Amino acid sequence: MSDTVRMLEAALRALEPEHLDIQDDSAQHAGHAGARSGGGHYTLTIVSARFAGLNRVARHRLIYQTLGELMSGRVHALAIRALTPEEL
């Protein structure tokens, strides 16, 4: 597990996830402009009751706010699947 994945997991624990999975897809994007600048590509699946009553855009905003500075340096692209426990 990379340092960035560990950092993402640690930050996202603030959302009290029941399930959290982060895949590092950076190797699939080797040579991409974002990869050259050091930012990685990740796929996130997160299940949290904190998403209840929030639409997709609001859920993504909450995740971006929670990740803060990680989104401006270590992460170039983040594919997100954010669900409530009831949506599983």
Q: What is the pLDDT of residues 8-26, one digit of tens each?
A: 999 999 999 999 999 999 8
Mean pLDDT of 53-66: 98
pLDDT score recorded for residue 73:
85
Distance CA 82, CA 85 (A): 10
Whether the predicted pLDDT of 68 surpasses 80: yes
Q: Classify burial at 63, counting beta carbons within 10 Å of its beta carbon; exposed 0-12, middle 13-18, buried 19 or more.
A: buried
Instruction: Look at 31 and 77; give whichever has higher pLDDT.
Output: 77
pLDDT score recorded for residue 29:
64
Is the domain covering 3-83 a CATH 3.30.70.360 domain? no
* Stated pTM of the model: 0.90
| Domain regions of the chain by residue span | 3-83
Mean pLDDT of 17-40: 79
Distance CA 34, CA 63 (A): 20
